């Protein structure tokens, strides 16, 4: 036998796995700023806007309440303007009511904005107001009659010079229509029970 055949060829050691280069851990992702819900209302802005009665409620989305507030405050101011000339006994009471209702209007606007935001964030204290809807094609008999009468009165003043001084004494009659409507609705609701 040949020595050369019995000698084995030297084996090469297995290759070491390639060393990976050291890498820095990934940088922490920048915190994502939460996007502000565009529906959120500012209570401070609602309070400031309600210095003009009803405008804070309109900003939050309570259109009917805003229009009711401006009508009440406007009516009391009109009463005070006309009653002031006649030394009316209800003038002090109307003045106190005007101050109270105006401040109530301001506080109410801020409170409604806060509750609106709570409802948006999931703390369901109230339901957010629905979008403002224009009157449907069905119309309103009472509203239509009131607008027709107002148009006739104003047109008679502008075209024919009809004096409107009588309105200073008779403006409270305008409260009869909504008062009668409220009584009628109450009777209907009781009858439906």
Q: Which of 74, 73, 49, 75 is nearest to 62 (CA)?
A: 49
Q: What is the pLDDT of residue 135?
A: 45
Q: What is the pLDDT of residue 12?
A: 66
Per-residue pLDDT, averaged over 29-49, amounts to 77
Region of 32 on the Ramachandran plot (φ > 0 left; ψ -120 to 50 alpha; else beta): beta
Instruction: Rank 46-50, 161-165, 177-181, 184-188 by mean pLDDT and report only the highest.
Output: 46-50
Q: What is the pLDDT of residues 64-82, one digit of tens each?
A: 888 889 988 988 888 888 8
Per-residue pLDDT, averaged over 27-42, amounts to 68
Q: What is the pLDDT of residue 48?
A: 92
Contact 127, 115 (CB under 8 A): no
Burial bucket for residue 101 (CB in 10 Å: 0-12, 13-18, 19+): middle
Per-residue pLDDT, averaged over 167-189, amounts to 78
Q: What is the pLDDT of residues 116-143, one digit of tens each?
A: 888 887 776 666 555 444 445 555 676 6
Query: If you ran DSSP here, which 8-state letter would residue 8 be given?
Result: P
| Cα 7 from Cα 3, distance rounded (Å) | 6
| Cα 54 from Cα 68, distance rounded (Å) | 7
pLDDT for residue 103 is more than 90: yes
Per-residue pLDDT, averaged over 49-61, amounts to 90
Written as six digits, the tokens of 49 are 């806007």
């Amino acid at each position: 036998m040949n020595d050369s055949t019995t000698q084995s060829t030297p084996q090469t050691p297995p290759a070491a796995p390639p060393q990976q280069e050291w890498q820095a851990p990934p940088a922490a992702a920048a915190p994502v700023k939460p996007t502000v819900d565009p529906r959120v209302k500012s209570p401070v802005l609602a309070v400031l806007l309600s210095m003009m009665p009803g405008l804070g409620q309109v900003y939050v989305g309570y259109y009917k309440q805003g229009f009711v507030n401006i009508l009440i405050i406007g009516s009391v101011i009109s009463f005070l303007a006309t009653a002031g000339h006649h030394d009316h006994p209800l003038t002090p009471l109307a003045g106190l009511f005007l101050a109270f209702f105006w401040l109530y209007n301001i506080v109410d606007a801020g409170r409604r904005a806060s509750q609106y935001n709570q409802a948006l964030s999931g703390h369901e204290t109230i339901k957010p107001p629905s979008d403002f809807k224009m009157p449907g094609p069905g119309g309103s008999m009472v509203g239509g009659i009131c607008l027709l009468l107002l148009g006739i009165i104003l047109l008679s003043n502008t075209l024919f010079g009809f004096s409107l001084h009588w309105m200073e004494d008779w403006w409270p009659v305008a409260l009869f229509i909504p008062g009668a409507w409220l009584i009628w609705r109450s009777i209907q609701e009781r009858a439906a029970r």
